[in-house]
Amino acid sequence: MHELRKDPILGKWIAVLKDSKPPEYYMEEGLRRTFRESFGTSCIFCLGREKETPPEIYAYREPGLPSNSPNWETRVIPNLNPLFRIEGDLGRRGVGMYDRMNSVGAHELIIESPRHDIPPEDRGLSSMSGVIATYKSRISELEKDPRFRYLLLHKDYGRRKDMFHHPHSQLVATPVIPRGIKGELEGAKDYFFYKERCVFCDIIDEEMRSGERIVMETSHFLACTPYAPKLPFEFWILPKRHCCAFQDIDETEQEDFALILMTTLKKMRWILRDPAYSYLLHTAPNRIPRKEYWHTLGEDFHWHMEIMPQLAPKSGFEWSLELHVTATSPEDAADYLRGASPL
Ligand SMILES: [Zn+2]
Ligand SMILES: [Zn+2]
Ligand SMILES: [Zn+2]
């Protein structure tokens, strides 16, 4: 099993894979070979090849149809190369001065479209809404497992376009709260402590007031570039209704979220010429009551999605200082995104 190790200085967890890779692994050909060994030479996520994947965990298809049959809109299967495995215990232990534990968790692959070459945002609102319904269903289900502290839904698009092109995203359930998320949760908690207001609700009010960073607004959501972005053209989608957990959205909000995500993704792809990008769903940690449970979580956190195009690699300066440099102001980025009309 892979291993999680805790940095003794910064307190953050990192994962070390069990089968240690040689230098060639990181070269272009090595990456291709690993991909071929894992996934074969053609795509097993396409419609009609359901029996070649591990059995599905969930599928979005008409009720009454058999599982692992071709009639589906989205499918969820275990990740073929999981970083986290569902079986086993955490095995938290100290080794000398260091802390480690087993990488117990869940790692699911969400196949977002039966078509290899058409992402859900290009298949229309009902397809996109099916993807959001799938996210919601899986997150709600995994939140019931007390071993998991955080559920991270994320999509990485286009970085290895030729190798893994089928539209997909991933859901990872981790036994620890990742440090990046923890920083945001603690910042929101501190803001609430001092002001007795949710920082994200305040951001929404401020952005609606100024309007200069708004990308799009729908009945229930606001898409805007953040005041202090980590990347050029980064933007966030926030629900206008205060709510700490994504999985608590109702059906109307689900449809509206699909609309704003679909439209803003198309705008971004249009003006940036189909860039590699990631999106991350920042939602509340597992809400099963436990020791040190975060009692104000429902008030001080506010779920949102962060969409980050990867246009240029980060410099050593940015890595080490975490002082991000963006060559396009968020106000200009919002202006470009707002004005894009790819439809
Ligand atoms: Zn495919
Ligand atoms: Zn709020
Ligand atoms: Zn966030």
pLDDT digits (tens, 9 = 90+) for 256-268: 999 999 999 999 9
Distance 39 CA to ligand 1 centre (A): 11
Average pLDDT over residues 109-134: 95
Which numbered ligand comes closest to the C-alpha of 237? Answer: 3
Token pair of 201 as six digits:
């609700």
Q: What is the pLDDT of residue 3?
A: 87
Is the predicted pLDDT of residue 107 greater than 90, yes or no?
yes
Q: What is the pLDDT of residue 327?
A: 92
Which numbered ligand comes closest to the C-alpha of 281? Answer: 3
Task: Report the percentage of the chain scoring pLDDT > 90.
Answer: 62
Is the distance from CB of 224 to CB of 215 less than 8 angstroms? yes
Q: What is the pLDDT of residue 146?
A: 85
Q: What is the pLDDT of residue 38?
A: 65
Is the distance from CB of 88 to CB of 70 less than 8 angstroms? no
Is the predicted pLDDT of residue 161 greater than 60, yes or no?
no
Catalytic residue among 107, 168, 220, 302: 168
Q: What is the pLDDT of residue 238?
A: 98
Is the distance from CB of 267 to CB of 273 less than 8 angstroms? no
Give the list of residues 6+ apart from residue 22 with CB closer than 8 angstroms, or none: none
Is the distance from CB of 170 to CB of 78 less than 8 angstroms? no
The response to whether 154 counts as a known ligand-binding position is no
Is the distance from CB of 105 to CB of 172 less than 8 angstroms? yes
Q: What is the number of other CB atoms lying within 10 angstroms of the CB of residue 168?
A: 21
Task: Say what the pTM is.
Answer: 0.92
Q: In CATH terms, are 3-174 and 179-339 the same topology? A: yes
Token pair of 69 as six digits:
């049959």
Which numbered ligand comes closest to the C-alpha of 40? Answer: 1
Average pLDDT over residues 175-186: 88
Q: pLDDT digit string (tens) for 39-92?
A: 666 788 999 999 999 999 999 988 888 999 999 999 999 988 888 887 777 888
Is the predicted pLDDT of residue 163 greater than 60, yes or no?
no
Q: What is the pLDDT of residue 62?
A: 83
Is the predicted pLDDT of residue 343 greater than 70, yes or no?
no
The response to whether 116 counts as a known ligand-binding position is yes
- Helices 251-271 and 330-339: crossing angle in degrees, nearest 10, is 100
CATH class of the domain defined by 3-174: alpha beta
For the chain, the average pLDDT equals 90
As a dihedral over the C-alpha atoms of residue 52, residue 58, residue 59, residue 65, rounded to 10 degrees, the angle is: 90
Q: What is the pLDDT of residue 134?
A: 97
Pick the CATH number of 179-339 from 1.10.3720.10, 3.30.428.10, 3.40.630.30, 2.30.290.10: 3.30.428.10
What residues pack around ion ligand 1 (CB closer than 5 A)?
43, 45-46, 116, 166
The residues that bridge with 94 in the sheet, in sequence order, are: 99
Distance 46 CA to ligand 1 centre (A): 4
Distance 8 CA to ligand 2 centre (A): 34
Is the distance from CB of 78 to CB of 109 less than 8 angstroms? yes
C-alpha dist (Å) from residue 209 to 198, 203, 296: 17, 10, 27
Q: Report the range out of 23-27, 88-92, 206-210 with the highest average pLDDT.
A: 206-210
State the pLDDT confidence band at 294, using cuts at 50, 70 and 90. Answer: low
Q: What is the pLDDT of residue 40?
A: 66
State the pLDDT confidence band at 234, using cuts at 50, 70 and 90. Answer: very high
The domain spans of the chain are 3-174, 179-339
The residues that bridge with 63 in the sheet, in sequence order, are: none
E-assigned strands of the chain? 3-6, 13-16, 58-60, 74-78, 93-95, 98-102, 106-111, 150-157, 168-174, 214-217, 221-224, 235-239, 277-282, 304-309
Concerning whether 242 is annotated as a catalytic residue, the answer is: no
Distance 14 CA to ligand 3 centre (A): 20
Average pLDDT over residues 244-251: 96
Q: Report the range out of 104-118, 224-238, 278-292, 293-307 with the highest average pLDDT.
A: 224-238
Of 144, 55, 157, 72, give the one whose Cα is nearest residue 113.
72
Q: pLDDT digit string (tens) for 299-334?
A: 889 999 999 999 988 888 888 878 888 999 999 999
Q: Strand 168-174 vs strand 221-224: parallel, antiparallel, or unpaired? A: unpaired
As a dihedral over the C-alpha atoms of residue 17, residue 139, residue 157, residue 37, rounded to 10 degrees, the angle is: 40
Q: What is the pLDDT of residue 173?
A: 93
Is the predicted pLDDT of residue 162 greater than 60, yes or no?
no
Distance 300 CA to ligand 2 centre (A): 7
Distance 134 CA to ligand 3 centre (A): 21
Average pLDDT over residues 111-121: 93
Which numbered ligand comes closest to the C-alpha of 47? Answer: 1
DSSP 207: H
| CA atoms of 234 and 229, how far apart (whole Å) | 6
